[in-house]
Amino acid sequence: MEIKAVVGDIAAIKADALIVNHFQDKKQLSSDTAVVDRALDGAISQLIKQGDIRGKLNELTLVHSMGKLPADRIVITGLGKKQELTVNKVRNAVAETCRYLRKKGVTSIASGAQGAGIKGINKESAARAVTEGALLGLYTFRRYITKKENDLGKIKKLLIVGSEREKPLLESAINRGRIMAEAANWARDMVNEPSNYMTPGHMADAARQLAQKYGLQVEVLEKEQMAELGMGGLLGVAQGSQQPPKFIIMNYKGRDADEIDIALVGKGITFDSGGISIKPSEAMADMKGDMAGGASVMATLIAMAQLKPRINVTALVPATENLPSGTALKPGDILTAMNGRTIEVLNTDAEGRLILADALSYTKKLGAKSIIDVATLTGACMVALGKICTGVFSNNQELADKVIAAGDETGEFAWQLPMYEEYREQLKSDIADIKNIGNRYGGAITAAKFLEEFVNKTPWVHLDIAGTYETDKEKGYLVKGATGIPVRTLVNLVLSLAK
């Protein structure tokens, strides 16, 4: 979809549809809505007076211009109570409106910077929210649908209207919003792919393609190199699969130095059956998405390559399948991680932490100044936080606060859980340095405590996205399937660290 800033009166813009807004319990019209209302001889005001337009959040009212405007249709989008407006509500409302107009066969839309000037929302943030809302909300994954009659319509153009003075600012906001949304959508594509089309080898190929397209550096370690490095966790999980594991390393260099300012480590289990500790068959098909962490850190580098912040970022993805077979890892086996620590494997379905143990050890060896890992790690995190918040676990409060703030700005909410040393007691093993699971209580925390063993004192944040990486319903800018979380959070974080 083409998105561009245009100068003019919104009522004079030629498009299939215009988007204006109205607030709940407010009789006074916002500026763009008032302009359109006058051109329509007060039709919007009359609908408000009659109670047909109430301004409730995400309420959509379609009005036909009947030739009074260059645009054929006008949608009045409810933004809820004025005093409660947020950038994320704007993002969601625009997404809902765009999907509604797509169903109407609309191909071009014009909108102002929705919500600008309300509750401290500036024009730039509003324009970025409109851009992100449209691109994220209109996302589809229909690669394997062959019937043409099932095709959705396509919105080809979005015009964001402002003044001549505002145009450069709007163009900058549109560019950043487009880059962030398209990076998130790239991750969505990767997560939505079926596991026979997204093997560890396919992930490695995708990394090479990104490197070539965006000028990134990439290295892929093969099984023999992993063995030389002593990556017993990754190789142990991989031994049940016929697909060879891959360890993907991607680098973005924003400044002339060899240092890694921040490392992003993403879990890359391209299919998780649970291994010998096999999962129930119900919803096992969703386990094609167990590489969402890996997809998100790779996608973040897409944005870095275009936004070009002065910071060095490395993304690392241990990629493998977790399958049961005659050669598979068994409960009771002991593995040795890259840092030399021995792990008693009591449950082969707690495999993500095993591959991350090696990835974090490798990252520590590289000397990264700080580490963020992203993983669909535990069902326990979903039990604790539902599907609304990503779990945050950290050994450094300053870094954790920055991650949470970056998520708040994007609407990708995160919540910090405790990391008291007492939780480590559950992981004590009688025959190895550590067990890979504790008891049934506090499972998301004990998983994070396990990972902490492999970062030592390096500032580190673990993001458990088990509840937020996908959604089973359409709401706001989220559509059924992969969400792309936490790509935009990571982009915001890196940009803030670069400053």
104 catalytic? Reply is no
pLDDT for 149 equals 61
Residues of the chain with pLDDT > 70, as a percent, come to: 99
Strand partners, 435: 344
pLDDT for 450 equals 98
The yes/no answer on whether domain 2-163 falls in CATH 3.40.309.10 is no
pLDDT for 247 equals 99
353 catalytic? Reply is yes
- How are beta strands 470-471 and 481-482 bridged, if at all? antiparallel
**Distances, alpha carbon 431 to alpha carbons 379, 428, 451, 483, in Å:** 27, 9, 19, 41
**Distances, alpha carbon 497 to alpha carbons 173, 198, 406, 491, in Å:** 19, 32, 10, 10
Checking if the pLDDT of 479 tops 90, the result is yes
Residues of the chain with pLDDT > 90, as a percent, come to: 97
pLDDT for 150 equals 61
Checking if the pLDDT of 290 tops 80, the result is yes
Q: Report which of 339, 345, 348 is spatially closest to residue 453, judged by C-alpha positions.
A: 339
Cβ atoms of residues 127 and 173 within 8 Å: yes
Mean pLDDT throughout 156-171?
97
Mean pLDDT throughout 445-461?
97
pLDDT for 66 equals 95
pLDDT for 152 equals 76
List, as one string, the DSSP characters of 181-227. Answer: HHHHHHHHHHHHS-TTTS-HHHHHHHHHHHHHHHT-EEEEE-HHHHH
**ω before 331 within 30° of 0 (cis)?**
no
- Here the tokens at position 453 are 């063993």
Q: How many residues does the chain have?
A: 499
pLDDT tens by residue, 225-270:
999 999 999 999 999 999 999 999 999 999 999 999 999 999 999 9
Q: Which of 279, 330, 387, 480 is catalytic?
A: 279
- Here the tokens at position 63 are 């009005």
Cβ atoms of residues 429 and 436 within 8 Å: no
Q: 3 in helix, strand or coil?
A: strand
In what helix (H) or strand (E) does residue 4 lie, and over which residues does it extend? strand 2-7
Eight-class DSSP state of 424: G
Q: What distance in Å separates the CA atoms of residue 61 and residue 77, rounded to the nearest whole number?
A: 7
Average confidence score pLDDT of the chain: 97
Q: For residue 499, with 0-12 CB atoms within 10 Å meaning exposed, 13-18 middle and 19 or more buried, which class applies?
A: exposed
Checking if the pLDDT of 357 tops 70, the result is yes
pLDDT tens by residue, 185-208:
999 999 999 999 999 999 999 999
Q: What distance in Å separates the CA atoms of residue 466 and residue 479, rounded to the nearest whole number?
A: 17
Mean pLDDT throughout 41-67?
96
pLDDT for 165 equals 97
Which amino acid would we find at residue 467?
G
Tokens 């974080």 correspond to what residue? 493
Q: Report which of 57, 115, 54, 56 is spatially closest to residue 86, judged by C-alpha positions.
A: 115
Q: Where are the domains of the chain?
A: 2-163, 183-498
Checking if the pLDDT of 283 tops 90, the result is no
Q: Estimate the crossing angle of helix 167-192 against helix 487-498, to 10 degrees.
A: 130
Beta-carbon contacts of 153 under 8 Å, excluding residues fewer than 6 positions away, are 102, 103, 105, 106, 107
Beta-carbon contacts of 284 under 8 Å, excluding residues fewer than 6 positions away, are 273
For domain 183-498, give the fold.
Aminopeptidase (3.40.630)
Q: Which of 89, 91, 176, 353 is catalytic?
A: 353
Cβ density class 230-253: b for 16+ within 10 Å, e for less: ebbbbbbbbbbbebbbbbbbbbbb
In what helix (H) or strand (E) does residue 92 lie, and over which residues does it extend? helix 87-103
Tokens 């049961």 correspond to what residue? 324
Instruction: Tell me whether the CATH fold assigned to 2-163 matches the one assigned to 183-498.
Output: no
pLDDT for 26 equals 75
Q: Report which of 52, 50, 47, 39 is spatially closest to residue 11, judged by C-alpha positions.
A: 39
Q: Report which of 206, 231, 223 is spatially closest to residue 357, judged by C-alpha positions.
A: 231
List, as one string, the DSSP characters of 218-277. Answer: EEEE-HHHHHHHT-HHHHHHHTT-SSPPEEEEEEEE-SSSS--SEEEEE-EEEEE--TTS
Q: What distance in Å separates the CA atoms of residue 161 and residue 116, rounded to the nearest whole number?
A: 12
